[in-house]
Structure 1
Amino acid sequence: MEETWVKIMLELGIWAIPLNLLVNTIVNLIGFIPSVFITTTNVLIWGPLWGGILSWLGEILGAVAAYILYRKGLRAIHINDPDRWQWLKSLHHQPLCRQWLLLVIARLIPWIPTGAINLLAALASVPFLLFLSSTALGKIPSIALEAGTGYGVLQLGKFFWQTG
């Protein structure tokens, strides 16, 4: 799958960047599909730094799109009362700095699906800028790990290809 994606990206030239951001956004909007193959492809095409930055932007765009759609959907079905459940009430009534910190920590825990964090933030009526900043900061370590791992695997593959 990655080879096909790389081929498509290389053929598109500069248009590969917006397409890549769109696909990364859609993958993150869905919320449970791992985006590691996109990050690895980005690292292969643009290198670890720029590929990582592109993946990070795509992750943020996807999370923001999900947050906005969840908020609109919750309002449309009239679930906009964060005091409905005790745990949600507790999160909603935390000071903003604590809400921000809790979202950053949740982003740092790799086994919590990003879609669950997006939905939780929407349900708790977390302010948009707080959500955006916590997502932007919280995504850095996971993207750095994905980009570093992808780069390491690519370098290992090159080493074995050259020596084999």
Structure 2
Amino acid sequence: MEQLLLDIVQNDSSTAWLYHFLFMVLVSMIPFAPIPVLAALIASNHAFFPGLAINMLGSTLGSFLLFLLSKSVLRNAALNYVNKKQQLSKFFALIEKNGFVAVLLARIVPFVPTAAINVIAGISNVRVGAFITATLLGKLPLILAYTLAGHQLAAGNWGTVLIIALYVLTLFLIGMKLKQKWSQ
């Protein structure tokens, strides 16, 4: 299985971009998937802007599909799960008040897993246009960082990769601080 995944990511055929895009869509729908690693690997196999487009559009489409799936099929099961988890129910309350801002902040400062954002937004009253816009704007900084890291890693620019890692770590720490404040 690992070899199959490596073959997909390291594919350098003329249709590699399509495989990478579809793989990113699929992985973006899986909770706790290693999207940063996948985005960096995909970026290392493409020029910067095509890699960014594959990562950004693939992860956004995956998020949108999970959003739609939770809005229709998963609604009852997802509501039961959210009600059992105190922190998720707090996020659900926040997203019910202002869906666009909640999705945007959760994407920019990753303190809620991506799949949870998609599902909670899907079962809440967040409108499709607000979800897509907040997802695109919120995903851009991190996907840009992961893509740049993968591109720089392939070029052997370790200093740039370190700076990007510090940026992502800073966002994570800010997210943890917000999570603590939000949990009180």
Distance 2:31 2:78 in 1: 22
Structure showing greater Rg: 1
CA distance in 2, matches of 1:44, 1:103: 29
Alignment-derived partner of residue 30 in structure 2: 30
Judge conservation of contact 1:28–1:62 (CA < 8 Å) in 2: yes
Report the secondary structure of 2:22's partner residue: helix
Counterpart check, 1:17 vs 2:17: yes
Deviation at 1:27, TM superposition (A): 0.3
Q: CA deviation at 1:37?
A: 3.1
User: Which residue identity lines up with residue 4 of structure 1 in the other structure?
Assistant: D
C-alpha deviations, 1:113-132, integer Å up to 9, x for none? 10111111112221111111
Q: Is the 8 A contact 1:70 1:122 kept in 2?
A: yes
Within 5 Å, give how 1:126-145 maps onto structure 2. 126-145=126-145
- The C-alpha deviation readout for 1:34-73, integer Å capped at 9, x for no partner, is 1223322322222222201110001001000100111112
Per-residue Cα deviation, 1:97-144 (whole angstroms, up to 9, x for no partner):
x42122111001134210111111112221111111110111100101
Q: CA contact under 8 A between 2:95 and 2:126: conserved in structure 1?
A: no
The letter of the residue matching 2:119 is L
TM-score (structure 2 length as normaliser)? 0.68
The answer to whether the 8 A contact 1:89-1:124 is kept is no
RMSD of aligned Cα (Å): 3.0
Check 1:115–1:3 CA distance in 2 against 1; reply closer, same or farther (3 A cut).
closer
**Does 2:101 correspond to 1:101?**
yes
Does the Cα contact within 8 Å between 1:27 and 1:62 map onto a contact in 2? yes
Distance 1:151 1:18, change over 3 A: closer
Which consecutive residues of structure 2, in runs of 5 or more, have no partner in the other structure? 81-85, 159-184
Matches within 5 A, 1:67-82: 67-75=67-75
CA distance in 1, matches of 2:93, 2:113: 21
Counting matched residue pairs gives 149
Q: Equivalent pairs: percent with the same residue?
A: 23
